[in-house]
């Protein structure tokens, strides 16, 4: 009787261990690659991780702060992340293998998930710096984002379109949004160029602390950039404190990207759960207000992942 009980107990323990091992084997990890914590990618990435955690019970979702576009794409190519945010021009450069943009070889493992919202290139100067136009940046101190980030690539493109280069400026600082704003508050910088959704927290903070000028990017400058990823747009009046007029600028589409090694079922569930919980994404940052499922498969400069493609076919957005 005693030995029978022991055998039964051991058998039960063995079954429990097998079940635990099976559950552990089924555990999936989704690392969401974002950007600096003071930008837009990060809060949206947190929202996505929360959505994935609820939609996929066996998933452990984490969020990684990065230097944004170029770093995210290189990490995805090497399998060190399952989904990441990027600007469209950086994505095109990665697919082609543009070494100047930070891609030594073409990143052909990348696969598309969704077009999300546009980044507005927002050039903001201290009002007392005398900067009112792009030409006025000559000889001034400008922050351009982290090296090889999407923001920094945008800065190079816009300055080139304006007939300027880094050599024409007084000083270049490669800083995340939050740090550049702190230097502007302390009068250690004249201007910052930020590529992000409208109403980015760092610029809202700056505009309530000092008087600012939002510098326009006119259509002729955009034409000289010569890249279809760059589209004319507007920063609406009152986006920031003291900005009483619409300001013309340039916008670049953002995308969510994965890689070919992520299972199709996982990417399908990531795509579906995001679009079905869009209100949660919008609650994380106002930049997501313009996101539409109907635009999700549009303008992707790389092939869609089969999992994302399955979702868009299912909802009749692609044939």
- pLDDT tens, residue by residue, 112-165: 999 999 999 999 999 999 999 999 999 999 999 988 888 999 999 999 999 999
pLDDT of 9 over the 80 cut: no
Fold adopted by 119-252: D-Maltodextrin-Binding Protein; domain 2 (3.40.190)
Confidence of residue 14 (pLDDT cuts 50, 70, 90): low
Model pLDDT, residue 229 = 87
Q: How far is CA 151 from CA 30, 156, 160, in A?
A: 25, 9, 14
pLDDT averaged over the chain?
A: 92
Confidence of residue 7 (pLDDT cuts 50, 70, 90): low
Q: Distance (Å, rounded) from C-alpha 154 to C-alpha 221?
A: 13
Confidence of residue 100 (pLDDT cuts 50, 70, 90): confident
Picking from 50-54, 143-147, 294-298, 305-309, which range would have the lowest pLDDT averaged per residue?
A: 143-147
Q: Which CATH class is domain 7-116+254-314?
A: alpha beta
| DSSP-assigned letter for residue 121 | E
| Rounded (to 5) percent helix, strand, coil in the chain | 45, 20, 35
Give the mean model confidence (pLDDT) for residues 81-91. Answer: 96
Confidence of residue 20 (pLDDT cuts 50, 70, 90): very low
- pLDDT tens, residue by residue, 184-243: 999 999 999 999 889 888 999 999 999 999 999 999 999 999 888 899 999 999 999 999
Give the mean model confidence (pLDDT) for residues 178-182. Answer: 94
pTM recorded for the entire structure: 0.81
Strands (E) located in the chain: 28-33, 59-64, 83-87, 110-126, 141-143, 171-173, 191-196, 212-215, 230-235, 247-259
Pinpoint the residues of the chain covered by CATH 3.40.190.10: 7-116+254-314, 119-252
């Amino acid at each position: 009787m005693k030995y029978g009980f022991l055998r039964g107990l051991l058998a039960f323990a063995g079954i429990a261990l097998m079940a635990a091992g099976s559950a552990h084997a089924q555990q999936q990890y989704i690392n969401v690659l974002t950007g600096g914590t003071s930008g837009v990618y990060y809060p949206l990435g947190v929202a996505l991780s929360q959505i994935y955690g609820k939609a996929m019970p066996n998933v452990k979702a984490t969020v990684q702060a990065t230097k944004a576009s170029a770093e995210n794409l290189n990490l995805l190519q090497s399998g060190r992340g399952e989904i990441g945010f990027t600007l469209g021009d950086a994505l095109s450069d990665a697919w082609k293998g543009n070494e100047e943009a930070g891609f030594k070889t073409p990143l052909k493992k990348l696969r598309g998930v969704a077009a999300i919202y546009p980044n507005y290139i927002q050039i903001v100067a201290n009002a007392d710096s005398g900067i009112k136009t792009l030409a006025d940046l000559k000889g001034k101190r400008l922050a351009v984002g982290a090296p090889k980030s999407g923001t920094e690539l945008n800065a190079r493109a816009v300055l080139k379109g304006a007939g300027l280069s880094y050599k024409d400026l007084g000083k270049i600082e490669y800083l995340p949004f939050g740090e550049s704003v702190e230097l502007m508050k302390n009068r250690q910088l004249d201007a910052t160029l930020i590529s992000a959704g409208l109403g980015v927290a760092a610029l809202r903070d700056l505009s309530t602390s000092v008087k600012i000028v939002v510098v326009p990017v006119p259509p002729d400058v955009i034409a000289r950039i010569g890249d279809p990823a760059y589209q004319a747009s507007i920063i609406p009046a009152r986006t920031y404190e003291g900005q009483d007029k619409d300001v013309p600028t340039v916008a670049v589409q953002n995308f969510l990207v994965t890689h070919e090694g992520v299972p199709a079922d996982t990417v399908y569930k990531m795509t579906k759960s995001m679009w079905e919980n869009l209100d949660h994404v919008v609650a994380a940052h106002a930049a997501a207000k313009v996101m539409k499922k109907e635009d999700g498969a549009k303008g992707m400069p790389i092939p869609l992942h089969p999992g994302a493609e399955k979702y868009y076919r299912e909802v009749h957005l692609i044939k």
